Amino acid sequence: MNAIAKPSVAGHSGALVLGSNYRGLGVVRSLGRIGVTVWLVRSDQHRIAERPRYAARVLPWRTGRDEAKVAHLLELAARHGLDRWTLIPTDDETAALLARNLEALGQGSSSPRRAGRRCASPTTSA
């Protein structure tokens, strides 16, 4: 039985997919099918990944400088209780953003993760 993923409760893990293009669609479907809670951040003009039943929630992406984008990710983590969620970029630009801002995103023990390393939430001291 394929159940629709439900939004996470604080303390549970999930995946925050950054990008709603065809790559994001593949990630959302693949993770959703195995029961991972997946939220999508629409980081481009493509909206194909917003439609799958496995995207429990679609959030907006902030345009502008790196600092604004990182602040937006941290604010989303704080507002929605996304500690221990995995950040999954779906394009080179977003992957580079995360790589350039590892220190700003932090590496706390109870925070969203990126590529095997932890990224801080505002409640975590790095």
Give domain limits for the chain.
Answer: 15-118
HSE on the CB side for 25, CA within 13 Å? 10
> Rounded to whole angstroms, how far apart are CA atoms 94 and 91?
6
pLDDT in tens, the chain (126 residues): 333 344 444 557 899 999 878 888 889 989 998 999 999 888 666 666 556 678 888 888 888 899 999 999 999 988 998 878 899 999 999 999 999 998 887 654 334 555 444 444 444 444
Place of tokens 């409640």: 123
For residue 125, give every residue at least 6 positions away whose Cβ sits within 8 Å of its Cβ, in sequence order, or none: 106, 108
Instruction: Note the pLDDT of residue 92.
Output: 92
- The class (CATH top level) of 15-118 is alpha beta
CA 92 to chain centre: 15
Residue 105: which of 117, 121, 94 has the closest Cα?
121
- Enclosing H/E stretch for 97: helix 92-100
Contact criterion met (CB below 8 Å) for 74 and 114: no
d(CA 67, CA 82): 19
Bridge partners of residue 38, in order along the sequence:
15, 55
Element spanning 73, H or E: helix 66-80
